[in-house]
Structure 1
């Protein structure tokens, strides 16, 4: 198998799968809708013998094609989750987690999440001490806070090109830090609250206040990434009524706390100063 700069040559064929303790299905550039001849049968036979099977990233598509995930919860990279759910409706796809352990069958999100899954399997097989040592040797945490929801770009629902709400959406995004109510938004739009609500549903698929909450979370993410402001100040800058309301809404949308998000995503604008002190 050619993989860019190098080639992988496997010494064993499909017949060896039944003897494996664990089989890992890797991600591929274009997951096929139909598996190559013999692959599904070999994997199902291995599963029948008790072999543990795990998938990395979009390797979940290969896994789902065998039918072994039918009726089970699974995950994959968030950008492919909707496609996986549509292609295999018998699989319950959870796009928010780093990995799913069904006992014999495991699935993971992106490549980094596969490391989380592998550490989890090591802990299951050999205990926490061995897993912690493997994590230290790999220079990764044994457990990460939050799921993959924190990596999803939560885009604001757009209005169709030329839609009547386009100017209002731009205004809302610019003024999301203000104390806005439905009546104030309707006044800015020059229509009744009822008409505004109906047109929002028609043109964005959501409500004005839900759209506003999402805009505030996006503003908060930007501030957490690019400033050292305390959470309380960011809550006010993003338009949340209190730090508590901010933390609850942020965790509901992003899947982790504001501080957890900051630790993962804050840009290293101070790194240069640390590396080159005056």
Structure 2
């Protein structure tokens, strides 16, 4: 059982505080058994005040950190990290009990806590776009990137603001247990299993409206036809736009070129097939639109660092057909 400790530092952002317990707590295997043991904790006893007029009672004290395989720090307005740049001694002592090799995760302004602890020095990281400049100024050794939903730097992962914490937790679940488990959690939480584009689209301009001028309907259609030829011309015709206009709008709405977006969705589909069905590599490649087994092997190695057979063994637990 993978143990997750969620550390609430006051005043904690209430929305952020519930993301990790909800998503990790909803992840189950094919028999319905829980895949994570999630514990909320705090450094001090009693309810932890939130930023929006209520308080929450953690299930444990700081001792839970020493037993965790993953520690999550949700968004917080905790002044020592957000203003002073130095943590209180009791918080420092609590963080020092975390075992080496434990995965560290922050949601939103939880990145300030990791930065104050020195964890993010020299590393790429993100936070809510509104607070990115403050993080950059207070902790100049952190390589802040506000134009992404989350940053996976191996054993340290950070997310942008609020709902981006959902994207990061789904990413972690997908990395730990595969696309099927992550998709089931997303379905339960009624959220998309992946989100298009980066955070920059929310800063610079309004979200695109799903109307005749949007490429949203064509993207949805493409997901149902990944095994077919999907050139820019084909997609543009479906959207009733010329190729140049379609390409421009597609990039504005997703943050990706059409070809890159299609390739990534095909790889997602291939991973789902490898996890859930006993098909040959060539058949998986055909159904996902990647063409040949060699092409699938190439993209899977680039994307996740494994061959199709190795990927199936890891996530399905059987020797895949080649």
TM-score (norm 2): 0.49
Q: 1:230 to 1:74 in 2, by over 3 A?
A: closer
CA shift at 1:63, angstroms?
A: 1.1
Q: 1:255 to 1:249 in 2, by over 3 A?
A: closer
**Map of 2:90 onto structure 1:** 38
How many residues were matched structurally? 180
Structure 2 residue 119 is matched with structure 1 residue 68: yes
Q: What is the distance in 2 between the residues matched to 1:227 and 1:138?
A: 26
Q: What is the distance in 2 between the residues matched to 1:84 and 1:109?
A: 12
Structure 2 residue 136 is matched with structure 1 residue 85: yes
**Map of 2:176 onto structure 1:** 125
**Map of 1:243 onto structure 2:** 245
CA shift at 1:73, angstroms?
A: 0.3
Where in structure 2 are the equivalents of 1:11-160 lying within 5 Å?
11-29=59-77, 31-33=82-84, 34-46=86-98, 48-152=99-203, 154=204
User: What's the secondary structure of 2:200's corresponding residue?
Assistant: helix
**Map of 1:9 onto structure 2:** 57
Q: What is the distance in 2 between the residues matched to 1:116 and 1:229?
A: 27
Question: Which structure has the greater CA radius of gyration?
Answer: 1
Contact 1:247 1:257 in 2 (8 A): no
Contact 2:74 2:107 in 1 (8 A): yes
Q: 1:6 to 1:114 in 2, by over 3 A?
A: same
Q: 1:49 to 1:257 in 2, by over 3 A?
A: same
Q: 1:257 to 1:123 in 2, by over 3 A?
A: same
Structure 1 unaligned spans of 5+: 155-217, 233-241, 261-278
Q: 1:112 to 1:68 in 2, by over 3 A?
A: same
CA shift at 1:243, angstroms?
A: 2.7
Q: 1:255 to 1:79 in 2, by over 3 A?
A: farther
TM-score (norm 1): 0.57
Contact 2:250 2:256 in 1 (8 A): no
What do residues 142-189 of structure 1 show as CA deviations (whole Å, max 9, x unaligned)?
11110101110x3xxxxxxxxxxxxxxxxxxxxxxxxxxxxxxxxxxx
Q: What is the distance in 2 between the residues matched to 1:130 and 1:226?
A: 29
Q: What is the distance in 2 between the residues matched to 1:144 and 1:230?
A: 16
Q: What is the distance in 2 between the residues matched to 1:121 and 1:25?
A: 15
Structure 2 unaligned spans of 5+: 1-47, 216-235, 237-243, 262-322
User: What's the secondary structure of 2:158's corresponding residue?
Assistant: strand
Q: What is the distance in 1 between the residues matched to 2:181 and 2:198?
A: 23
User: What's the secondary structure of 1:110's corresponding residue?
Assistant: coil
CA shift at 1:10, angstroms?
A: 2.3
Report which stretch shifted further, 27-36 or 143-152: 27-36
Q: 1:76 to 1:11 in 2, by over 3 A?
A: same
**Map of 1:188 onto structure 2:** none
